[in-house]
Homo-oligomer: A and B are copies of this chain.
Amino acid sequence: MQTVDKAMKLLNQFSRHKPEIGLSELARMTGFDKAATRRFLVALQNHQFIEQNPDTKAYRLGLGFIHLAKVRESTFPLESILHAALDRLSVATAETAHASLLINDKLSTIGVSFPDRGNRAHLDVGEQLPFHATASGCAFLAFSSAERQASFLTDVMDSHTPNTPTRADDLDNFIEEARHNGYARAHGSYCTEVTGTAVPLFGADSQPIGSLAIAAPSSRLTDALKQQIVEQLWAESTQVTRAIGGQIPESYQTFTNQLRGIAA
Contact = CB atoms under 8 A, between A and B. Distances in A.
Given A43-B4, A104-B48, A72 B76 contact: no
A170 interface: no
A66 B43 contact: no
B65 A126 contact: no
Contacts of A124: 74
Given A4-B43, A16-B74, A47-B5, A67 B103 contact: yes
Interface string A57-80: 000111111111111111110110
Q: Which of A8, A19, A49, A204 has most chain B Cβ within 10 Å?
A: A8
A81 to B, nearest CB: 13
Interface residues of A, number: 52
B1 A40 contact: yes
A254 interface: no
A11 interface: yes
A66 B101 contact: yes
Interface in A1-47: 1, 3-5, 7-8, 11, 14-16, 19, 39-40, 42-44, 46-47
Q: How many copies does the complex hold?
A: 2
Nearest to A53: B204
A19 B63 contact: no
Contact of A63 (B66, B75, B103, B126): B103
A72 B74 CA distance: 20
A40 B103 contact: no
B108 A54 contact: no
Which residue, of A8, A54, A68, has the highest number of chain B Cβ atoms within 10 A? A68
A125 interface: yes
Given A79-B66, A126-B67, A126-B71, A4 B3 contact: yes
Counting chain B CB atoms within 10 Å of each CB, the highest count among A5, A19, A47, A204 belongs to: A47
Nearest to A44: B4
Nearest to A5: B43
A16 B75 contact: yes
Interface in A122-141: 124-126
A47 B105 CA distance: 9
20 contacts: A1-B43, A4-B7, A4-B40, A4-B47, A16-B74, A16-B75, A47-B104, A54-B204, A61-B68, A63-B103, A64-B103, A65-B65, A65-B68, A65-B69, A66-B72, A67-B106, A70-B109, A70-B125, A74-B125, A75-B126
